[in-house]
Each structure stands twice: as C-alpha cells, then as structure tokens.
C-alpha cells in the first residue's frame, strides 16, 4: 500500500469519532455584547472584558488571545514592525488536504502562519518578539514556524536586543512529520548561540503550551514565565496515566503545578505583564534594579 493511501484511509476512519464540543459551542451565551466566563460562568460586557485585556472581571480567568491582541496588549503602542510576514508553508510530505487546510486558516485568521515575529518595544526597551497564534492550525509548529522563530532569534542577536517568545501551541505539526520535529533542534540551537553571545531570552507560556513546543524553545528562557492556569505539558494526561498506570494529580500540567515544582520562575497576570517584563528588561541594563 502506498503511503498516500494510508493517509487517506486514516482520514476516512477519523470520521467515526464523536465530535467534542468546542469551548465556543459550550458557552450558551452568544458572542457579541455579553461574554460568559468558561471558568466562573459569570456574564460580563464583552467591551469591559476587552478593556481588561481579556481577563475575567470576576475570577481573573485569562481568555485566549490571538497574536494581534497580544501585540496591542503587550507592546508599546505603534512600536511593532513585523518580520517575514509572507512566509508560507509548502507541503513537503504531500500530505492530503494540507495546502487546502492552510489556505482555509489563512482566510480565517488573516495570518500566513501560526507565529508572528517582529521588532517592538516594551516600556521603551527594544525587543524582538515571537508570538504564537493558536487560532492558526492550533499553533502547531511546522517548518515555517521554526524558520520564523529562528530568524527572529538571529535578528535579536544582530540587533543586540532581548528575545521574548509567547507560546501557545498544540505541539509539532502532524502534516509535516519529522520536519516539524526537527524545528525543536533548530530553534534550540539558535537560542543556545544567542545565549552564548549574552542574549537575554524570556519565555511566556500561555494556554496551551504542549508537545514539541513545550519541549523546546518554550522552556529554554533565561526567565520562564506563564499566564495563570495555562495548560503546559509534553504528552497528554491520558497518555501519561496509561503509560505509568497511575492517576495524576488534579492540577498536573497547570502553570501553578509547574511553579510549585520549580519548572517556572513566576506566574504573571496579563494585567501586570508588560510592566513586569519592562522591569526585567530594565534590570538587564547597566545599573538596573528590580522593583517587584
Ligand atoms: Zn470568570
């Protein structure tokens, strides 16, 4: 049987699985004027929620942000200049329907890939940022995501400015197979070179940061931060429970659990993020001091 037939067969089989309702479908309040918090179930004005950086006014639940919202929320106004915005993926494995799926996501998100990179400023400090976007192919990492992140790290090196990455990803991109997995090594090497030359790396993990992304650049910052309640992990809970034949703690793979076990340096609310990161950038300047 040809490899292509195998893929087609797998895809046909997939249709038998039950559909899991999405977060949006679970909310019984229509999107628009009001928004219901999936955590505390309280309803609030969407306008007020947006004004509060998409953080629930009642329970501080952090609603997912796309890359555009992140740029507005985190960077100094008007400071962002995008790199390599037109780079798009090919179909290296000739995976059925991959190009069509990419095209659909491009139209849906108005993005060309699952990461946006560029130069910006935080509290007046110049930085290179890479912002993953979970609305594009679940933020999965294929060849273009790896390449854009690598080029961004090299640009930070060239400009001698810190590199900040926001991660939100389902992991490696299935449709690019081993080429996706190789991005883990590629981005890690670029970070190591940057670090050896004195570069500052700040990783901010957001919900969800999983698979090959959590196992590479997301965890390689000089500072590894996360937003509250983010799911961060490599393999899924069920897979781990089945392999170790043990029940995992309830809060396993949450940012709070990882902080308790030393894998994170801090959990920072989105409402304070820009200010705290600006302070960190400040202390890495000659004569800088920490104020929090
Ligand atoms: Zn809430």
pLDDT, tens digit (0-9, with 9 covering 90-100), for 96-115 = 999 999 999 999 999 999 99
CA of 202 to the centre of ligand 1 (A): 28
CA of 74 to the centre of ligand 1 (A): 21
Query: Residue 65's pLDDT is what?
Result: 96
Residues 212-250 pLDDT 10s: 999 999 999 999 999 999 999 999 889 999 999 999 998
Phi, psi of 141 (to 5 degrees): -100, 110
Is residue 8 predicted with pLDDT exceeding 50?
no
Average pLDDT, the chain: 90
Average of per-residue pLDDT across 3-20: 50
- Sorting pLDDT into bands at 50, 70 and 90, what band is 19? low
Q: Which residues are bridge partners to 255 per DSSP?
A: none
CA of 190 to the centre of ligand 1 (A): 39
CA of 214 to the centre of ligand 1 (A): 26
CA of 38 to the centre of ligand 1 (A): 7
Average of per-residue pLDDT across 128-143: 97
Residues with CB under 5 A from ligand 1 (ion): 37, 39-40, 56, 58-59, 61
CA of 129 to the centre of ligand 1 (A): 29
Helix (H, G, I), strand (E, B) or coil at 85: coil
> pTM, whole model, 2 decimals?
0.86
Two structure tokens written together for 273: 């993020």
Average of per-residue pLDDT across 197-212: 96
CA of 49 to the centre of ligand 1 (A): 10
Query: Residue 165's pLDDT is what?
Result: 98
Which is more confident, 292 or 182? 182
Average of per-residue pLDDT across 80-104: 97
DSSP code at position 175: G
CA dist 188 and 251 (Å) reads 28
CA dist 39 and 25 (Å) reads 15
């Amino acid at each position: 049987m040809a490899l292509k037939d195998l893929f087609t067969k797998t895809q046909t089989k997939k249709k038998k699985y039950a559909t899991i309702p999405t977060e949006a479908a679970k909310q019984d309040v229509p999107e628009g004027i009001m928004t219901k918090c999936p955590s505390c179930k309280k309803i609030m004005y969407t306008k007020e929620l947006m004004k509060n950086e998409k953080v629930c006014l009642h329970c501080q639940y952090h609603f997912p942000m796309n890359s555009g919202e992140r740029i507005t929320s985190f960077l100094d106004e008007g400071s962002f200049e995008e790199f390599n915005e037109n780079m798009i993926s090919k179909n290296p494995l000739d995976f059925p329907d991959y190009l069509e799926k990419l095209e659909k996501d491009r139209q849906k998100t108005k993005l060309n890939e699952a990461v946006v990179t560029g130069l910006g400023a935080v509290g007046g400090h110049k930085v290179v940022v890479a912002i993953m976007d979970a609305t594009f192919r679940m933020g999965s990492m294929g060849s273009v995501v790896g390449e854009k992140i690598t080029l961004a790290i090299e640009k930070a090196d060239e400009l001698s400015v810190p590199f900040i990455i926001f991660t939100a990803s389902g992991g490696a991109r299935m449709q690019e197979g081993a080429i996706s997995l190789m991005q883990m090594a590629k981005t890690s090497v670029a970070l190591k070179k940057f670090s050896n030359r004195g570069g500052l790396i700040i990783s901010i993990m957001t919900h969800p940061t999983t698979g090959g992304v959590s196992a590479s650049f997301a965890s390689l910052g000089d500072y590894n931060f996360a937003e509250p309640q983010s799911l961060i992990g490599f393999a899924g809970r069920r897979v781990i429970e089945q392999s170790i034949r043990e029940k995992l703690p309830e809060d396993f793979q949450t940012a709070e659990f990882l902080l308790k076990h030393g894998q994170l340096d801090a959990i920072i609310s989105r409402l304070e993020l820009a200010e705290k990161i600006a302070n960190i950038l400040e202390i890495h300047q000659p004569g800088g001091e920490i104020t929090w």
